[in-house]
Amino acid sequence: MRERVASAVRSRVIDPVLLSLRQGATPKSIAVSMSAGTVIGVFPVLGLSTVLCLVLVVALRLNLVAIQAANWLVYPLQIVLILPFIQLGQRLFGRTPVTLSPEQLQVAFELSWLQAIAGFWNLMLSGVLAWGVTAVPAGVILYHVIVLALRWANVGVLAGRDKS
């Protein structure tokens, strides 16, 4: 299982990003796209992250490969972070945090996706607002970390050492 995950990450994230670097993209341009893809990838409303990434690609001329690679990579985090974002949002806006289990959320969405959204829209709004508060600082930190990692990786790409 570990080998399959490593292989998937290599083929869907690392190889496409290294190819972009080989084709002339700068570490900074890739880092902007990857940090945006990561931050948007954990947006606490399922189904919107890919659309939001595509909007940013068009509006800001970001690297499509890098933003989607990061978005794909953090998808499991998106699911895991929905409830913490909701709880943070409830606290930030002075509401009593709602106790909601992942199982309750799953059952509600399995029964009726539209009814679940209608029933949970206040909670989802709290999650989106909490995400909005944390997105910019997280994006800035990620950008700097990714620039450093890509500069290191770019040395290997230029020297032909990116093959394992």
For every residue of the chain, DSSP letters joined together read: -HHHHHHHHIIIIIHHHHHHHHTT--HHHHHHHHHHHHHHHT-SSTT-HHHHHHHHHHHHT--HHHHHHHHHHTHHHHHHHHHHHHHHHHHHTTPPPP---HHHHHHHHHH-HHHHHHHHHHHHHHHHHHHHHHHHHHHHHHHHHHHHHHHHHHHHHHHT----
**Residue 35 carries which side chain, given as an amino acid letter?**
S
Alpha carbons 19 and 107: distance in angstroms, whole number: 42
Structural contact between residues 86 and 50, judged by C-beta atoms closer than 8 angstroms = no
Residue 164, pLDDT score:
43
Position 34 pLDDT exceeds 90:
yes
CA distances from 153 to 66, 160, 162 (A): 14, 10, 8
> Percent of the chain scored above 90 by pLDDT?
51
The average pLDDT across 43-65 equals 95
pLDDT level of residue 159 (50, 70, 90 thresholds): very low
Residue bearing the bigger pLDDT, 122 or 53: 53
pLDDT level of residue 156 (50, 70, 90 thresholds): low
Cβ count within 10 A of residue 13: 18
Position 154 pLDDT exceeds 90:
no
Position 161 pLDDT exceeds 50:
no
For residue 162, which of 30, 7, 15, 29 has the smallest C-alpha distance?
A: 15
